[in-house]
Amino acid sequence: MKRFTLSLDPDSIIKITSAEWIGPKDIVLSNVCEPDEADSSSIIFCEQERLLEQVKASPAGLVVTSASLQARLGSRPLLIAENPYLTFMTMVSYWLELEAGQQDYSIHPTAIIDPTVRFEGEAAIGAHVVIAANTVIGDRVSIGANCIIGKDVFIGTESSLYPQVTIYDSCQIGKHCILHSGVVIGADGFGYQVMEGKQQKVPQVGNVIIHDEVEIGANSCIDRATLGSTVIGKGTKIDNLVQVGHNCVVGEHSILCAQVGLAGSTIVGDWVYLAGQVGAAGHISIGSQAMVGAQSGIASNLPGAAQYFGTPAIDANLMKRVVVSWKHLPEMYRAYQKTLKGDKSD
C-alpha cells in the first residue's frame, strides 16, 4: 500500500484522468493498493473478470474499472475508464509528482560539500553526502543519504539519486535522471596489457555521459571510458545489476534488463530491448529496435529491427526451432550410430 501525504479529492481525480465518476463523492482518498490491502480511503483498480469477487469484497473507497464491469460492481464509488490500469497509473504518477512538489529542498548539516561546488538552484542533499570540488548540481536535484559525488561532476535539473550512489570524477548526469541505490558511475574500465610478465593497467581517463531521462537500477555499473566517453542515450532505462563496459555507446529509449552485461566499446542503437542476463561482446554493434531474448550471448554485429536469441544470438525464430530440436538429438544420435554400424557391416 502506498499512503500519500496529500489526499486526492474526487474532482481532482476526474480532472487528472478525464474519466467518469459514478456514485457519491463524499470520500477522502489517501492511498493506492491491492484489493485485499484496502481500507475506506484506498483506490484500487479492476479490469479482469477473475478478480471481481475479490474487488467486491474489498472495502476500498474507489474502484477504477471499465464500463463493461461497472454493473457487476454494485453501487459504490467507481471511476469508469477505457483502460483502467493506465488510468489508475496515470493518477498515481500525478499523485507522486504532487508529493514530490512538497520536497523539502535543504542541505543536511552532515553533508560535506566542497566550497567550489555550484548549485544552479535549490537542491535536497541528504545526510553524509560528500560532493567534491567544481561539481555542478542542477535545480531541484535530490541526492540521497551517503551518496558520494566526485570532482567536476555535472548533475542536471530534477535528477534524483537514491542513497549510496557513487559518481566518480568528471562524469555527467543529464536532467530528470533516476539513479537507484548502489549505482556506480565512472569506475575504471577494465583494460590491461601484458607487459614485463604482468597485467599492466591501461589508464582509464575518459568519463561517463548519461543523457536526460535515464533511469539506472540498483547496483548497476557504468564504467568510464579509456579515453572519450561511455554514453547512455536519452530516455534509456537500465535495470539492476547491469554492467556497461568502457566506451560503450547506448542509444535512446533502449531497455537493458537486469544483469545484462556489455563488454567494452559496444554500440547499442535506439529502442533496443535486451532481456535479462544478455551479454554482448566488445567492439560490436546492435542495431536500433533489435530485441534480444533472455540470456542470449551477442557475439557479432546484429542488424536492427529484428529478434534474436541464443548463445551465440541468431534469428529468434530459428533458435526457437533449434532448441525444440535439441530434445530429439539423443535419439537422432543413436539412429546415426546404428547407420554407421550398418555401413560397416555392409
Which span (7-15, 66-74, 117-125, 184-192) binds a second copy, by CB under 8 A? 184-192
Which span (15-23, 61-69, 70-78, 329-337) binds a second copy, by CB under 8 A? 329-337
Taking residue 100's Cβ as centre, other Cβ atoms within 10 Å add up to 12
**Shortest distance, CB of residue 177 to a second copy, whole angstroms?**
12
- Tell which one of 75, 102, 193, 345 touches a second copy (CB under 8 A): 193
- Contact between 136 and a second copy by CB under 8 A: the answer reads no
Catalytic residue among 128, 246, 253, 328: 246
**Shortest distance, CB of residue 74 to a second copy, whole angstroms?**
22
- Contact between 25 and a second copy by CB under 8 A: the answer reads no
Give the three cell numbers for residue 77.
464509488
Nearer to a second copy, 102 or 326 (CB): 326
- Tell which one of 77, 84, 144, 174 touches a second copy (CB under 8 A): 144
Across the chain, which distance is largest between two alpha carbons, in Å? Answer: 92
How far, CA to CA in Å, does 80 sit from each of 26, 66, 83? Answer: 18, 5, 9
Residue bearing cell 532481456: 275
Q: Is 253 a catalytic residue?
A: no
**Shortest distance, CB of residue 340 to a second copy, whole angstroms?**
8
- Tell which one of 145, 284, 306, 316 touches a second copy (CB under 8 A): 145
- Tell which one of 20, 37, 39, 82 touches a second copy (CB under 8 A): 37
- Tell which one of 68, 93, 116, 301 touches a second copy (CB under 8 A): 93
Give the three cell numbers for residue 163.
542513497
Which of positions 206-265 make contact with a second copy (CB under 8 A)?
Answer: 206-207, 213, 215, 217-219, 221, 223, 227-228, 235-237, 239-241, 243, 245, 253, 255, 257-259, 261, 263
CA 318-298-301 angle, 5° bins: 90
Give the three cell numbers for residue 98.
504532487
10-17 vs 84-100: helix crossing angle, rounded to 10: 110
Residue bearing cell 531541484: 140
CA-based end-to-end distance of the chain: 76
The one-letter code for the residue type at 343 is: D
CA 247 – CA 235 distance, rounded (Å): 19
- Contact between 344 and a second copy by CB under 8 A: the answer reads no
- Contact between 322 and a second copy by CB under 8 A: the answer reads yes
- Tell which one of 102, 104, 115, 330 touches a second copy (CB under 8 A): 330
E-strand ranges in 66-213 read 78-80, 112-113, 118-119, 123-125, 130-131, 136-137, 141-143, 148-149, 154-155, 160-161, 166-167, 172-173, 178-179, 184-185, 192-195, 198-201, 207-210
Give 282-291 contacts, CB < 8 A, sequence gap 24+. 282/245, 288/251, 291/316
Which of positions 73-92 make contact with a second copy (CB under 8 A)?
Answer: 86, 89, 92
**Shortest distance, CB of residue 229 to a second copy, whole angstroms?**
8
**Shortest distance, CB of residue 6 to a second copy, whole angstroms?**
14
- Contact between 146 and a second copy by CB under 8 A: the answer reads yes
Nearer to a second copy, 24 or 310 (CB): 310
CA 269 – CA 274 distance, rounded (Å): 11
- Contact between 321 and a second copy by CB under 8 A: the answer reads yes
Taking residue 116's Cβ as centre, other Cβ atoms within 10 Å add up to 13
- Contact between 33 and a second copy by CB under 8 A: the answer reads yes
Closest CA to 267 of 314, 296, 226, 229: 229
**Shortest distance, CB of residue 215 to a second copy, whole angstroms?**
7
**Shortest distance, CB of residue 107 to a second copy, whole angstroms?**
14
- Contact between 303 and a second copy by CB under 8 A: the answer reads no
How far, CA to CA in Å, does 316 sit from each of 97, 154, 291? Answer: 40, 41, 9
Give the three cell numbers for residue 307.
529478434
Which of positions 112-131 make contact with a second copy (CB under 8 A)?
Answer: 112, 126-128, 130
Give catalytic residues, as residue numbers: 246
